[in-house]
Amino acid sequence: MINSQNIVARSATTLPAPQARDNVVEVAKLIDVSKCIGCKACQVACMEWNDLRDDVGECHGVYDNPMDLTAESWTVMRFSEVETEVVGGNDVSAEKQLSWLIRKDGCMHCAEPGCLEACPAPGAIVQYANGIVDFDSNNCIGCGYCITGCPFNIPRISEKDSKSYKCTLCSDRVNVGLEPACVKACPTNCIEFGSKQDMLARAEKRVNDLKERGYEQAGIYDPAGVGGTHVMYVLHHHDEPGLYHGLPKDPRISPVVGAWKGITKPIMSAILGITAFAGFFHYITKGPKEEPTDEEVFGEGDDHHRDSREEEHRP
């Protein structure tokens, strides 16, 4: 835990957050996919800084390696070979061209994090005032509800210790004024880091540049369904985010999580309360349950069964 005074939300608790500091600037990481060359320097830097060593995988005939996020690979490069509209004049707009769309995948650090909403372990997931969503593994119980709650399918449970892991946005580096390791390692500066306000301004400028070059659908991926994110993308095909290896167009927290934490929880609490009250009322009106006598069980004169029962209870 880097700074408990900057925590604005904790999982599974109703205690109010510290209010003394109100001048913390929201941060954000901006990933311009139009500049990405897929070198995977960000993957290496992430594992190096966080001292992670994933298993050596196998070649599956694609550039993705590993094929998915794991408890030891908190960010992976996604390569998508797709057909897109030809960028140029109207005379060729109906034709298709082959495009490589490369996206750095990892935690989006949602302003309204579904993982935190779903987590039943007190303090296992926290959100800092600067927007970073972090996991405290000491409090994780490995239930996997954070995976269910995440609209981007990011957290992974480790087979080694049954705890959940994901990108921390290098919260330890950010806390001392450094940029995340992936930003530091990127050779094309397609990953930038700073205040969210500054990153939005840079993204807007880049989107305008892309539109001037013919990418009319260029835009900023900062989905409102999760309150915005602190990891944003500049996409040249913003109208079709699914082209970038299934990036959801309108991510939202699962209604199952909302029902569990919103409706089901107070209903279950009410049922438990009614059950406890009914038991107490029965005790007051009927008294404690009494053990029936041998005469009530076996009847008058049944000495054989009475002797057998006394024999069973004899030490």
Residues in the chain: 315
Residue type, 178: L
Binding residue positions for [4Fe-4S] cluster: 36, 39, 42, 46, 107, 110, 115, 119, 140, 143, 146, 150, 167, 170, 182, 186
> Phi/psi at 77 (nearest 5 deg)?
-90, 130
Going through the chain in order, the beta strands assigned E by DSSP cover 7-10, 27-32, 76-85, 96-105, 125-128, 133-135, 156-157, 164-165, 191-195, 219-221, 231-235
CA nearest neighbour of 30 among 197, 233, 218, 248: 233
CA distance linking residue 276 with residue 257, whole number of Å: 27
CA nearest neighbour of 164 among 72, 77, 255: 72
For the chain, residues with pLDDT lower than 50 are: none
Going through 238-308 in order, the beta strands assigned E by DSSP cover none
- Res 267: pLDDT: 73
Binding residue positions: 36, 39, 42, 46, 107, 110, 115, 119, 140, 143, 146, 150, 167, 170, 182, 186
Q: What is residue 51's DSSP assignment?
A: T
Contacts of 238 (CB under 8 A, 6+ apart): 207, 217, 218, 219, 220, 221
- Res 13: pLDDT: 86
Tell me the CA distances in angstroms from 230 to 78, 143, 184, 285, 292, one per residue in order. 19, 25, 17, 59, 68
Torsion angle of C-alpha atoms 119, 122, 124, 130, degrees rounded to 10: 90
- Res 127: pLDDT: 95
Tell me the pLDDT tens digit for each residue of 143-180. Answer: 999 999 999 999 999 999 999 999 999 999 999 999 99
| CATH for 4-34+41-253 (2.160.10.10, 3.30.1220.10, 3.40.50.2300, 3.30.70.20) | 3.30.70.20
pTM for this predicted structure: 0.81
Q: Where are the domains of the chain?
A: 4-34+41-253, 254-286
- Res 143: pLDDT: 95
CA distance linking residue 195 with residue 170, whole number of Å: 15
- Res 208: pLDDT: 97
- Res 147: pLDDT: 95
